[in-house]
């Protein structure tokens, strides 16, 4: 009996710290949990004519939402509209505008009407090392990915604040390259990292209006954009990016809506993304006290795992550059050897006597 009492006491002492931590987190995590309804609500998606945006629009329509999509190409918008209507029976409103043009975006938002769920999904990526990349390409990515998001949110926010008495959502489509910098993604990562600062500050500004911000972090996704990107991106970028795998657009859309409906601030899309979310949680809001517990307890271990990833990446970078130097040296030696053979070809054996052939 005494042994049983001692065992019970030891177990209690062992469980007391984590239980106390869970209780503290339950009391302090903010904002509080909330559910965002999708059915019969207006979901507005930028970049909605293809890729992840089209998958998001299809998913929203399947859940009974009223869907509006915005993109630049009217032809692609018409194709997307027909596809969604045929597969779900839901009519979709389409708006042709460039997110870099605030006036055009404002006009589209005015025509679309009050928005309940805004998904800022547009994005462009031109992969290249910064030294080789033109500043016009850098500006293009920042303008579309970051400034375009400001334009879209600023245009939609006034009517979203008035609302319909139900919680609303603003979701920003970032990238795992918005959680960790990757070789060849310098400008792209900068534009996607910027979305995090936007989202964290915006959540504080709009929480009193029952608007909830989500930041979605997909990995490489099987879209027409990725196909074009992989043709151009540096070899090292492909080697590093392979560690996270590739997801289907439909899978990303499903994960995204799961996060939006639960009003999660950080929405990872796969295991690597979940680990990155813990490693980079920082000062981000957290609605789930259970997830907050995981972040607190696992932070050190995940940081160790992250350091192993960095070790692997930097070793790969050093090895790749060292091999390139060896290849360049061998190529130079080959060129010199070929040049020597061509030069010797103008001489005969009398060269041994120091006389050139006629």
Contact assessment for residue 150 and residue 127, using Cβ atoms and an 8 Å cutoff: no
Q: What phi and psi values does residue 262 have, to the nearest 5 degrees?
A: -95, 5
Q: What phi and psi values does residue 101 have, to the nearest 5 degrees?
A: -100, 100
CA distance 129 to 275: 26
Contact assessment for residue 176 and residue 274, using Cβ atoms and an 8 Å cutoff: no
Catalytic status, residue 174: yes
Q: Could you say which of 188, 191, 255, 277 is catalytic?
A: 188
CA distance 315 to 321: 10
Widest Cα–Cα separation across the chain: 113
User: Which residues are 171's β-sheet partners?
Assistant: 119, 214
Distances (CA, A) of 84 to 58, 222, 223, 228: 6, 19, 17, 24
CA quadruple 137, 141, 143, 144: dihedral, nearest 10? 130
Q: What phi and psi values does residue 120 have, to the nearest 5 degrees?
A: -90, 100
Q: Could you say which of 169, 192, 244, 277 is catalytic?
A: 192
Q: In the structure, how many helices (H) and strands (E) does the chain have?
A: 12, 9
Q: Could you say which of 50, 149, 174, 189 is catalytic?
A: 174
CA distance 35 to 42: 16
Catalytic status, residue 188: yes
Positions marked catalytic: 174, 188, 192
């Amino acid at each position: 009996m005494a042994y049983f009492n001692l065992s019970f006491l030891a177990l209690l002492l062992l469980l007391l710290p984590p239980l106390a931590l869970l209780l503290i987190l339950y009391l302090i995590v903010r904002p509080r949990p909330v559910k965002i309804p999708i059915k019969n609500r207006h979901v507005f998606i930028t970049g909605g004519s293809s890729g992840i945006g089209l998958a998001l629009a299809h998913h929203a329509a399947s859940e009974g939402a009223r869907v509006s999509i915005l993109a630049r190409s009217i032809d692609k918008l018409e194709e997307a509209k027909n596809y969604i209507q045929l597969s779900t029976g839901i009519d979709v409103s389409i708006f042709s505008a460039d997110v870099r043009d605030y006036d055009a975006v404002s006009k589209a938002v005015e025509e679309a009407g009050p928005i309940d769920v805004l998904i800022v999904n547009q994005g462009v990526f031109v992969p290249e090392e910064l030294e080789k990349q033109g500043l016009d390409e850098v500006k293009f990515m920042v303008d579309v990915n970051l400034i375009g998001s400001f334009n879209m949110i600023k245009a939609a926010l006034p009517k979203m604040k008035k609302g319909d008495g139900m919680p609303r959502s603003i979701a920003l489509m970032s990238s795992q390259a918005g959680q960790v910098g990757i070789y060849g993604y310098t400008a792209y990562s900068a534009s996607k990292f910027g979305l995090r600062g936007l989202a964290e500050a915006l959540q504080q500004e709009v929480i009193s209006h029952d608007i909830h911000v989500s930041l979605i972090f997909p990995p490489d996704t099987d879209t027409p954009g990725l196909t074009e990107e992989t043709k151009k991106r540096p070899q090292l970028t492909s080697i590093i990016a392979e560690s996270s795998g590739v997801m289907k657009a439909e899978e990303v859309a499903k994960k995204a809506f799961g996060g939006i409906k639960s009003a999660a601030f950080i929405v990872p899309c796969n295991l690597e993304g979940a680990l990155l979310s813990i490693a980079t949680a920082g000062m981000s809001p957290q609605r789930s006290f259970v997830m907050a517990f995981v972040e607190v307890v696992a932070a050190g271990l995940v940081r160790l795992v992250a350091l192993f990833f960095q070790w692997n990446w930097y070793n790969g970078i050093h090895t790749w550059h060292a091999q390139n130097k060896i290849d360049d040296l061998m190529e130079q030696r080959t060129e010199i050897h070929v040049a020597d053979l061509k030069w010797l070809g103008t001489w005969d054996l009398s060269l041994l006597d120091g006389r050139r052939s006629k």
